[in-house]
């Protein structure tokens, strides 16, 4: 009987652990964009949404992530993350990034949008520099949360 109680406690603990929202690393060349279905291959572009219910959605470009968010306005996100051009393959919170739209950045979906840890790291003087709320507004995507 004691064995069954311990087993039940372990199973309950594991089930709660599996429902904790947390980001997943992007597997470049294996993962696909949930929006456009293209493979995610460039470590300088892409993003990830993690819902409060621990569901993970991966994207090959921010241009796919924003329309997905617009089409799912009732979804609540624990994490909204984007790959940084100046720190490839690393996901960062969108509020910590600066976004640049410029012909110098050839993002997978052709929106020419790249994210940076700081404006000083951008390689352009002619692009449109935006924060996350400004990018959402500029692309007429989703209401600011």
pLDDT tier at 118 (50, 70, 90 boundaries)?
A: confident
Q: Which two tokens stand for residue 58?
A: 């991966």
Taking only the tens place, the pLDDT of each residue in 10-43 is 655 555 555 789 999 999 999 999 999 999 999 9
Q: Residue 29's CB: how many other CB atoms inside 10 A?
A: 8
Residue 137 has pLDDT above 50, yes or no: yes
Ranges of each domain in the chain = 21-138
Whole-model pTM: value is: 0.81
Taking only the tens place, the pLDDT of each residue in 62-116 is 999 999 999 999 999 999 999 999 999 999 999 999 999 999 999 998 999 999 9
DSSP secondary structure, 30-43, as one string: T-B-TTT--B---T
Which of 46, 23, 39 minimizes the C-alpha distance to 113?
46
Query: For residue 66, is it left (φ>0), alpha (ψ between -120 and 50) or beta?
Result: alpha
- Predicted pLDDT at 14: 54
């Amino acid at each position: 009987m004691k064995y069954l109680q311990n087993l039940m406690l372990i199973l309950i603990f594991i089930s709660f652990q599996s429902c904790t929202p947390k980001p997943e690393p992007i597997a470049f060349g294996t993962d696909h964009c949930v929006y456009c279905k293209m493979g995610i291959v460039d470590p300088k572009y892409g993003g990830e949404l993690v819902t409060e219910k621990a569901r993970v959605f991966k994207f090959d470009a921010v241009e796919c992530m924003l329309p997905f968010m617009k089409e799912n306005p009732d979804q609540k996100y624990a994490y909204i993350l984007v790959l940084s051009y100046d720190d490839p393959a690393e996901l960062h919170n969108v509020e910590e990034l600066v976004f640049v739209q410029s012909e110098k950045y050839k993002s997978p979906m052709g929106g020419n949008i790249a994210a940076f840890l700081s404006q000083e790291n951008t390689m352009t003087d002619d692009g449109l520099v935006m924060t996350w709320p400004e990018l959402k507004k500029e692309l007429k995507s989703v209401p600011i949360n």
